[in-house]
Structure 1
Amino acid sequence: MSATKTSLPKSEAISKGYNFASTWEQSAPLTEQQLAAIGALSHAVAEPPFPANLAPEHISGHDTGLYISMKHSTVEETGAIETVLINTNQFYNWFMDLEAAMKSEAEEKYQCYVNTLTDRIQKCDGILHQVDETLDLFNDQQLEHQAVATKTKSVHDACDRRLLEKQRLIEFAESLRSKLNYFDELENVATSFYSPYMTLANGNFLPLLKRLDECISYFESNPQYAESSVYLVKFRQFQSRALGIICSHVLSVLKSTSSQVQAAIQSNNGSKAAVSEGLETSVIYVRFKVAASELKPVLEEIESRSSRKEYVQILAECHKLYCEQRLSLVRGIVHQRISEFAKKESLPSLTRSGCAYLMQVCQHEHQLFDHFFPSSSKDISSLAPLIDPLCTNLYDTLRPRLIHETNLDTLCELVDILKVEVLGEQLSRRSESLAGLPPTLDRILADVHERLTFRARTHICDEITNYVPFDDDLDYPTKLERSAEMKSESTATDQSPDIFKTWYRPLEKTLSCLSKLDRCLEPPVFTGLAQEAVEVCSLSIQKASKLIVKKSSPMDGQLFLIKHLLILREQIAPFDIEFSVTHKELDFSHLLEHLRRILRGQASLFGWSSSTSLARTLSPRVLESQMDAKKDLEKSLKSTCEEFIMSVTKLVVDPMLSFVTKVTAVKVALSLGSQNQKLESVMAKPLKDQAFATPDKVRELVQKVSAAVQQELPSVMEKMKLYLQNPSTRTILFKPIKTNIVEAHIQVQSRLKSEYTPEEMQSINMVSIQDLQDKLDNML
């Protein structure tokens, strides 16, 4: 087979072409329209037709070789490649050549693109080279500009530093000048103070005083400056001189005003002691208000600087001068007015009038003081040198009369006046202007409390503990009967009788004393007095009860004691106090035995160990004993009620109680047995055959008890109504009596049912328990 072979592109060129195409594809991606066109073209050439020389009709079955004829545009523009393929190897060689030609044909257009791009890249490289040269020139110019800017900035910074340095120097000079001004001010101050025209009336005085304070404050806060201590001493000397001028001026104005007031008083009345109330207000206070207006600028200046100790001292000195001048004018007037009250009024009226007058004076003085010292008038201690002596006049007038006052009612009234009216009501409404008065009033009230406590103890001792009863005091039950008659008569005339007349006098005095002291004394003091009063009152009532037993009857004494103890317990219940008191006392009794042992030589004075030291051995023992007057009262009342119940029970059913006791003794003797055969034979007899228990004896004791129930018990109930007016109290007291009576009847009936025949019980004729209970209930 002969064929014309055309040289085909090598595989290395194909690879480069593909690489270039791939790079180009990434660098210059196609649009969607272009990609669609390429896809359509690829689909069209996917299955190329057979070449004409390979058509089936051109292949002869008799030939042993393969003939292929095709045209290739890359080999010859107008010719075709005709090849005769004899065997398979030739076919593969031909196919490889064909494939290389096709690849070369496909890469040809890309190669054209590569050449174009290469030319353009070379052109761009030339342009970039020119740009780099231009940038180098620009960078050089920029560096030159930056160097110029740096030099310019350094010049500007140097100028700014010079300006700042100049400003600092100016400020330093001004600061130095301001500091030196304080040093230079000494000469100005000295010139002003040594001037003969420098007085408080001079308009430059107060500004100069202010400048002095500023200089002193400056040197105090800057001790590090040279000679600051020397200048500080000199400025303080001038300040002391200025404050002395102020103090002299204030004293001069106050003395002048006082002289004018005294002259006005003498010209109108002839004597200072006879000043009328109208003149007192118009002269003593009005003229001082004029003086306050004159001193107001300088005093306000002093008060505004009260944070400095120098001005605190001068302000205190001005307060003192003011109080001294006011006291010299007002003390005699106040003393005269209180003395007039004391001559014509009782002690309570004197207290009330004196307090009212002092409150008026204190209020006026506080208002006047506020005109002089508006900023410091709230400090009550500033007016103390004036108010305290004025209030002392009332205290000195009241105290001698308080010491000699013995009436408890008067002392209690004084406590009400001072504690309720004055301190509680009037001072609370005007507390600020009357702030200086409470200390004196508290002092007077303390004296009244002390005197009241002393008189209360004396009253308890004289009128309760040592009370000697009269015959009329122990006239029971006659006194109660007369009161009952008066009560029935007063019911008809609508007049209530005095229930306290039926009380034992110490009880009445005790309750009256406690009711007065309750609102007047402090709780701890009142508690001690109440405990003592209740204790001695209870003992006094018990003593009176024993006397009534001797004079009237035991039952009268018991009911008298029950009545008054109940009243005492009821009346002390509203007092919210603790009646328990703990008494402490020192016990030295154990020391006697120690001294005896030491004297006998059995113990040494220095032989005690550290655990039993001498001080511990010789120290007294503290014994505590607690006394509760209320509990003692309850105990006495309970025991008295029990005695009364047992006495009434015995009065009514004593025969039955004796009968039950004997029957019980017989039963006990029979149960225990006896060695005495004769006694045993006697005891062995039936109960109704015993001498004390025969039906006749039993009938007799039942009749006695029935008579006592009919006769004695109603009289007891009448006497209980006479002593105990409260029905509930009588019911409570009668209930155990009724229980005892019924129980005695029940026990006797139980013995009769077990030991006696029905005929014998009928002959005894004992009342039924139900009838007995109904009869006892009706007695109430």
Structure 2
Amino acid sequence: MASKANLPKSGAISKGYNFASNWEQNTPLTEQQQAAIATLSHSVAERPFPPNLGQDRTGHQNALSVSTKDSSFGSEHSVAIEAVLVNTNQFYKWFTDLEAALKSETEEKYRHYVDTLTERIQTCDGILGQVDDTLDLFNELQLQHQAVATKTKTLHDACDRLLIEKQRLIEFSEALRSKLNYFDELENIATNFYSANMNVLNENFLPLLKRLDDCISYVESNPQYAESSVYLLKFRQLQSRALGMIRSHVLSVLKGASSQVQAAIRSSGGSKASVSEGVEASVIYVRFKAAASELKPVLEEIESRSSRKEYTQILAECHKLYCEQRLSLVRGIVHQRISEFAKKEALPSLTRSGCAYLMQVCQLEHQLFDHFFPSSAEDVSSLAPLIDPLSTYLYDTLRPKLIHETNVDFLCELVDILKVEVLGEQLSRRSESLAGLRPTLERILADVHERLTFRARTHIRDEIANYFPLDEDLDYPAKLERSVADNLETTSQADENLVFKTWYPPLEKTISCLSKLYRCLEPGVFTGLAQEVVEVCSTSIQKASKLIARRSSPMDGQLFLIKNLLILREQIAPFDIEFSVTHKELDFSHLLEHLRRILRGQASLFDWSRSTSLARTLSPRVLESQIDAKKELEKSLKTTCEEFIMSVTKLVVDPMLSFVTKVTAVKVAMSSGSQNQKAESVMAKPLKDQAFATPDKVAELVQKVAAAIQQELPIVMTKMKLYLQNPSTRTILFKPIKTNIMEAHVQVQSLLKAEYSPEEIQGIINMPSIQELQAQLDNLL
């Protein structure tokens, strides 16, 4: 039987379970802790029974045997307490002991667990202490590491700075070295240039020259460097020496080439002035190109550097040397050829041949120049020292001939050759190679224009303004009648020439002059000449019409003037110019009045602030006057036509016009109420009772007018047809005559109806009706 002290208590067990449950809820274990507890449970699963429970109590046979298994630790671990209970007291005691034992057993398990946890906590505390120590050591180590890293970074930064500084110093050293190289090159270049074997043909000459140019450019762009001006001066001295060597070399080669060409010419049996045309191209151009071909590399090198002032100068000198040598070769040949043209040909053909030959020479010279100076060939001025003297030979040959040329036709032909054929066609097709000739050709053309203008003014003065008409020029209308007769016998092709023969000679010369000069002179010059010649021609025609009027009849003079003025107006219409010219002249007419005022003391001679000052007094007035020859021509034509219309009208209906005038005067006198009794008695009579207005008198004047219409008017129309071949012109001119005749008849008929009886009108006067008169006049056209 177990002792009471060892018996578990049921209340203790219950509390133990409650504690364990609360413990599990309040302090949940991690998986690692649960694994540790499971390991401890396995290690204490098998335990020995307590001594008091392990004895065999089989001696009490009548007692109650109780077996109790404790399953608190699972099915695998159980506690069997067996006891023999005799009475209730023993049972309660046994139960109390059992409960105490169970309680103790349960607490033991948790105490063991607590102890285990305590040990582990202690272990953990020890470990945490070690960890804290380790962390302290780690923190210290980390601080040391940071200090080391900081020192390392500082060291690295210092190294980087040193490397950068080293690189910068290296670059500075290299830059300094590269800059010093330009200055150090002075000695090297000077040594080479002053060496005895250095010349332009040396393979090192051009590279050294280029290096010298680079050094000069660098020193020029950096004047802030010490002694840069000294080095620049020395570099320029070397450059001048090198360029001088180039100039001497070019001159030597060109002279050598010229000597070879001259020797070839002499060997061909001629001289420079007499070389044949076939030999000219092969010797003067081909041989020269071959002889001077060694200059091409040097000249191209100079042209490539022509942007620099020094090389521009040496290139210009080379151009000059080249042109001088070429001129010495071709001068004599060109002069000889032009002289030969001048001996054999007239002025127009000489101009054409000379220009063609010069263009050929100029083109060949341009091609040769382009071979040596390809980049300078486009500049016309480069070849001017050669082309200008050659073209001057032609100018000097043509100039004396132009001065003595009086034929306007020849001068117009020269203008056409120079302006159309040479400058217009040839130079436009080959403008680049022949551009050097243009100034000389334009100068020749300007001289031709000047000479043509002078001769045209002389022609206008002598042949038109001062024309003295011959008898046959004034033999009108007989001249026209002969022309009509000749026209009937000739063919239509000669009709135009016959028409021109009927023109007044100054008119024909005017139109011919304008036609020739229109395309030969500048518009401004031609306008002045056209205005002058039209004005002079119109004046000459008017003078001739007056002579014809005195010689033949006034009507012939009027129709002559109308005919020629109409032709002149018609012929100048195609010229697209203004026939107006503004003339300016100085007027000193006010000067005398100012001087009189000064002498009278009314004005001061030295009063510069007033209008009467000496400066204003002596200042002329500029008077402008505009003369329009075409308008003056129209005005003269209109005036002449009006005079002719009035003369024909008066010739036909003058009796009617006188009658109407007298009737009008009588009526005006009657309306004015004159005080003269005699006049009153006269005016009181009816119109038909007046002496000039009796039916017989009126019938007489009507018959005179009818006779004039039937006899005089056809003669007028015949003359109009003779002078004016254009029917429309005659119609226009006759229309106002017809209107005037009919208007006179209408006025007379109105007076007759008002003042005379029908019997007097029809029986005595017998005036034709307006319809009959109109039909009669229409038949005259």
Partners of 1:534 and 1:381 in 2: CA distance: 45
Q: Alpha carbons of 1:295 and 1:552: their partners in 2 closer, same or farther (altered >3 Å)?
A: same
Is residue 605–residue 613 contact of structure 2 (8 Å, CA) maintained in 1?
Answer: no
| Alpha carbons of structure 1 residues 740 and 468: separation in structure 2 relative to 1, 3 Å | same
* 1:739 and 2:730 matched: no
Please tell me the residue identity of whatever aligns with 1:742. M
Decide whether the 8 Å contact of 1:427 with 1:434 is kept in 2: yes
- Pair 1:615-2:615 in alignment: yes
Specify the alignment match of 1:458 in structure 2: 458
Structure-2 separation of matches of 1:594 and 1:757: 74
- Residue 584 of structure 1 contacts residue 623 of structure 1 at CA under 8 Å; is this kept in 2? yes
Taking the aligned partners of 2:264 and 2:177, their CA distance within structure 1 comes to: 58
Superposition deviation, residue 707 in structure 1: 1.1
> For 1:459 and 1:388, how far apart are their aligned partners in 2?
35
Corresponding position: 1:674 with 2:674: yes
Q: Is the 8 A contact 2:695 2:760 kept in 1?
A: yes
Kindly state the Cα deviation for residue 570 of structure 1 after the two structures are TM-superposed.
1.2
Structure 2 letter corresponding to 1:765: N
Q: Provide the rounded CA distance (Å) in 2 between the counterparts of 1:141 and 1:483.
A: 144
Structure 1 residues 707 and 155, CA gap change in structure 2 (3 angstroms) = same
TM-fit CA distance, 1:160: 1.8
SS of the aligned residue for 1:624 comes to strand
Partners of 1:610 and 1:558 lie apart in 2 by 56
Letter in 1 for 2:373: F
**CA 1:670/1:175 → structure 2, altered by over 3 Å: closer, same or farther?**
closer
Q: Is the 8 A contact 2:247 2:314 kept in 1?
A: yes
Structure 2 partner of 1:715: 715
Counterpart in the other structure of 1:553: 553
The corresponding residue for 2:562 is 562
Distance 2:617 2:326 in 1: 65
* 1:558, distance to aligned residue in structure 2 (A): 0.3
Kindly state the Cα deviation for residue 167 of structure 1 after the two structures are TM-superposed.
2.1
CA deviations on 1:82-124 (whole Å, 9 max, x unpaired) are: xxxxxxxxxxxxxxxxxxxxxxxxxxxxxxxxxxxxxxxxx9x
Structure 1 stretch displaced more, 728-737 or 620-629: 620-629
Q: Distance in 2 between matches of 1:417 and 1:724?
A: 40
Q: 1:274 is matched with which residue?
A: 274
What does residue 434 of structure 1 align with?
434
Equivalent residue for 2:579?
579
Partner of 1:769: 770
- Give me the CA root mean square deviation: 2.2
Q: Deviations over 1:215-234 (max 9, x none)?
A: 22222222222222222222
Q: CA deviation at 1:700?
A: 1.3
Residue of structure 1 in register with 2:17 after alignment: none
**Cα distance, 1:337–1:497 mapped onto 2, change above 3 Å:** closer
1:33 aligns to what? none
Q: Letter of the 1:776 partner, please give it.
A: L
Kindly report which structure 2 residues correspond to 1:506-655, keeping only aligned pairs within 5 A, or say none: 506-607=506-607, 609-610=609-610, 612-655=612-655
Distance 1:552 1:695 in 2: 38
Tell me which residue corresponds to 1:261.
261
| One-letter identity of the residue aligned with 2:774 | Q
Determine helix, strand or coil for the equivalent of 1:436: helix
Structure 1 distance, partners of 2:493, 2:319, is 71
Contact 1:412 1:520 in 2 (8 A): yes
For the Cα contact (< 8 Å) 2:605–2:612, is it kept in 1?
no
Partner of 2:146: 146
Q: CA deviation at 1:165?
A: 2.3
Structure 2 partner of 1:105? none
Measure how far apart 1:503 and its partner are.
0.3
Contact between 1:490 and 1:497, CA under 8 Å: does it hold in 2? no
1:39-50 map, 5 Å:
none
Task: Report the Cα offset of residue 456 of structure 1.
Answer: 0.7
Which residue in 2 is equivalent to 1:7?
A: none
SS of structure 2 residue aligned to 1:779: coil
In the alignment, is residue 480 of structure 1 matched against residue 495 of structure 2? no
Q: Is the 8 A contact 1:563 1:723 kept in 2?
A: yes
The code of the aligned residue for 1:779 comes to: L
Instruction: Report how many aligned residue pairs link the two structures.
Output: 655
Q: Structure 1 542/494 Cα, relative in aligned 2: closer, same or farther at 3 Å?
A: closer
SS of the residue 1:584 aligns to: strand
What corresponds to 1:41 in structure 2? none
Question: Structure 1 pair 182/607, CA: closer, same or farther in 2 (3 Å)?
Answer: closer
SS at match of 2:688: helix
Give the structure with higher Rg (CA).
2
Matches of 2:494 and 2:505, distance apart in 1 = 26
Q: Counterpart amino acid of 1:524?
A: G
2:322 aligns to what? Answer: 322
Is the contact made by 1:464 and 1:510 (CA closer than 8 Å) also made in structure 2? yes
Mean CA deviation greater in 537-546 or 568-577: 568-577
The answer as to whether partners of 1:182 and 1:215 remain within 8 angstroms in 2 is yes
C-alpha deviation, 1:184, in angstroms = 2.5
From the superposition, tell whether residues 462 and 694 of structure 1 become closer, same or farther in structure 2 (CA, over 3 Å).
same
Aligned-partner residue type, residue 184 of structure 1: D
Distance 1:484 1:156, change over 3 A: same
Q: What secondary structure is seen at the aligned counterpart in 1 of 2:490?
A: helix
The worse-fitting range, judged by mean Cα deviation, of 307-316 and 672-681 is: 672-681
The alignment partner of 2:626 has SS state of: strand
TM-score (norm 2): 0.81
CA deviations 1:499-546 (Å, max 9, x no partner) are 111000001111111111111111111111111111111110000000
Q: Distance in 2 between matches of 1:441 and 1:135?
A: 111
Cα gap change, 1:741 to 1:169, in 2 (>3 Å) = same
Which deviates more from structure 2 when the two are superposed, residues 564-573 or residues 619-628?
619-628
Kept after mapping to 2: 8 A contact 1:486/1:497: no
SS in 1 for 2:257: helix
Q: CA contact under 8 A between 2:549 and 2:557: conserved in structure 1?
A: yes
| 750 and 135 in structure 1: CA distance in 2 versus 1, 3 angstrom threshold | farther
Q: Work out whether residues 487 and 498 of structure 2, in 8 Å CA contact, stay in contact via their aligned partners in 1.
A: no
Q: Distance in 2 between matches of 1:527 and 1:513?
A: 13
Tell me which residue corresponds to 1:90. none
Contact preservation (8 Å) 1:292, 1:371: no
Assess if the C-alpha contact under 8 Å between 1:342 and 1:350 holds in 2. yes
Q: Contact between 1:562 and 1:637, CA under 8 Å: does it hold in 2?
A: yes
Deviation of the 1:137 alpha carbon: 7.7
In structure 2, the partner of 1:658 is 658
Segment drifting more, 351-360 vs 200-209: 200-209
What is the alpha-carbon distance in structure 1 between the residues aligned to residue 610 and residue 754 of structure 2?
Answer: 78
CA drift of 1:676 comes to 2.6
Unaligned runs of 5+ in 2: 1-120
Structure 1 gaps of 5+ residues are 1-122
Contact 1:490 1:496 in 2 (8 A): no
| Other-structure match for 1:369 | 369
Change (3 A) 1:535 1:611: closer
Read off the aligned partner of 1:769 and give its amino acid letter.
I
Deviation of 1:490 (Å): 2.6
**What letter corresponds to residue 414 of structure 1 in structure 2?**
L
The AA in structure 1 aligned to 2:299 is: L
- TM-score, normalised with respect to structure 1: 0.81
Q: Conserved in 2, the CA contact under 8 Å of 1:565 and 1:637?
A: yes
1:166 aligns with 2:166: yes
**Contact 1:380–1:436, Cα closer than 8 Å, also in 2:** yes
Letter aligned with residue 361 of structure 1: V
Give the Å deviation of 1:724.
Answer: 0.8
Q: Residue by residue, what CA displacement relative to the aligned partner does 1:151-173 show, whole Å, maximum 9, x if unpaired?
A: 22222222222222222232233
Q: CA deviation at 1:140?
A: 6.0
Which residue pairs with 2:108 in the alignment?
none
Question: Which range moved further: 347-356 or 175-184?
Answer: 175-184
**1:15 alignment counterpart:** none
In the other structure, the counterpart of 2:88 is none
Q: CA, structure 1 residues 153+632, in 2 after alignment: closer, same or farther (shift >3 Å)?
A: same
Q: Which moved further from structure 2: 488-497 or 700-709?
A: 488-497
Q: Distance in 2 between matches of 1:486 and 1:181?
A: 103
Tell me the amino acid that sits aligned with residue 543 of structure 1: K
Q: Residue in 2 aligned with 1:55?
A: none
Task: Please list the CA deviations of residues 696-755 of structure 1 after superposition, one character each: whole Å capped at 9, or x if unmatched.
Answer: 111111111111111111111111011111111111111110001001111111111111
Report the alpha carbon displacement of residue 307 of structure 1 after superposing the two structures with TM.
1.3
Distance across 1 between alignment mates of 2:342 and 2:183 = 66
Q: Tell me the distance in 1 between the aligned counterparts of 2:623 and 2:210.
A: 72
**Secondary structure of 2:625's aligned partner:** strand
Please say if 1:685 is aligned against 2:669: no
